[in-house]
Structure 1
């Protein structure tokens, strides 16, 4: 069985690693035979390089790395490939396939909308404006993907509107997004989370939203959602099917 190494960003906030562990428990429940391992890029342990070294040390000749990232920003484009390349430099016979990141994807959008519903937000409520909040990136296409998702939601939800907002490195911020929603007639504010797990940036978004509207409804991060887990498995199986077994001869 080729190990699935799920790599998350990592955080000093212990809730983040705990949420990743819960998500991977759901992945294991969906496929109990699968060897699923957690790894992190920074701030949490074990690090991706250490997990891949352990995979090699146990005699595996290949692994599939699934980045638990919601967009193709710096971590996906630089950190993950760099860590994999370093391990392969040390162990050239270990074949490592890195899948696409998780987002954007309809399954993730479905999970984010479900979290909004759990927070008490219903489609068709013209009094409610929704802030779709993400981390933000210096890589413009990653931010554009969140903006495009907000536009899709706005067109079909029946809410007063949906505006993107970012916790860092990009604009608009939450206060600007809320102002735009109020200009469109929203009297209530809700925040949809485009974060996988709790941490510093989601907390920052929450604090900013509550400063604008103390009664704002705040959706939880995507977390251990079954559709997120299904997507992790889909990324793994798609990558595994594309492996050229001749390279292991």
Structure 2
């Protein structure tokens, strides 16, 4: 029996750095599981679009597909866009079985990668002292998703025995600049920002710009390509592949 194909699905961006990063991450996943068919795909703005990838895989004989959303939080894209993609694909191909897994979420492994990226940024800026952290995330109109990011920020801060808050690049306050200024108003002067974005693009660039303007001492690069993230993708896939196994009545 052929294992289900794995589609690593990102949102997409007009910034070519974003799709290049997602493609490279997908290649890292494929290198760790050469027995699997692994393909990158995007909801919009970048090629290849997920519907086209699903159609191509089906035409090649894959009738089972596991979609792993390369998303940090579970909000509109995970709850509305991806189910709509699956419904449309199964309407086109009635014998096709597609399952979407949970999003990547704020796994401990992702915080490990975040720490790695921040250490590199601190070394580049020659920063030796910190007294606060800001976790920069995309933000959502879904208040629950934003609350999850605030809890993640507190968890991250506890790792380092530092106060930490989440800040958002869109849809919800505070922005990174506001979060940095709030810490500075509280007397803190050595504030670093960790970018909880998977790939570079307009939103992480803007978040970094606002943070530095407000006085942050360092801002990390997005998480990017890392074996730990690839392992999380494969862990999500493993659960999704099991969910595709029919249960006898």
TM-score, structure 2 normalization = 0.92
Note the 1:39-50 alignment, pairs <5 A. Answer: 39-50=41-52
* Aligned mates of 1:127, 1:65 — CA distance in 2: 39
SS in 1 for 2:122: coil
Indicate which of 26, 37, 40 corresponds to 2:39: 37
Contact 2:63 2:95 in 1 (8 A): yes
Q: Does 1:224 align with 2:204?
A: no
* Aligned mates of 1:112, 1:145 — CA distance in 2: 17
SS in 2 for 1:111: helix
* Aligned mates of 1:191, 1:232 — CA distance in 2: 25
Note the 1:141-220 alignment, pairs <5 A. Answer: 141-159=144-162, 161-213=163-215, 216-220=217-221
- C-alpha displacement at 1:246, in angstroms? 6.5
Contact 1:129 1:182 in 2 (8 A): no
- C-alpha displacement at 1:243, in angstroms? 1.9
Which runs of 4 or more aligned residues in structure 1 lie more than 3 Å from their structure 2 counterparts after TM superposition? 125-128
Q: Does 1:131 align with 2:155?
A: no
* Aligned mates of 2:183, 2:165 — CA distance in 1: 7
- C-alpha displacement at 1:191, in angstroms? 1.1
Q: For residue 237 of structure 1, what is the aligned residue in structure 2?
A: 238
* Aligned mates of 1:105, 1:158 — CA distance in 2: 19
Contact 2:129 2:190 in 1 (8 A): no
* Aligned mates of 2:200, 2:131 — CA distance in 1: 24
Q: Which moved more, 1:109-118 or 1:90-99?
A: 109-118
Q: Does 1:60 align with 2:53?
A: no
- C-alpha displacement at 1:177, in angstroms? 0.7
Indicate which of 21, 24, 27 corresponds to 2:29: 27
* Aligned mates of 2:186, 2:24 — CA distance in 1: 38
- The alignment yields a C-alpha RMSD, in angstroms, of 1.7
Q: How many residues align?
A: 242
* Aligned mates of 2:88, 2:239 — CA distance in 1: 24
* Alignment gaps of 5+ in structure 1: none
Cα distance per residue 1:85-130 (max 9 Å; x no partner): 1010111100001100001221112211221112127xxx764322
Q: For residue 90 of structure 2, what is the aligned residue in structure 1?
A: 88
Contact 1:56 1:94 in 2 (8 A): yes
SS in 1 for 2:41: strand
* Aligned mates of 1:202, 1:218 — CA distance in 2: 10
TM-score, structure 1 normalization = 0.92
* Alignment gaps of 5+ in structure 2: none
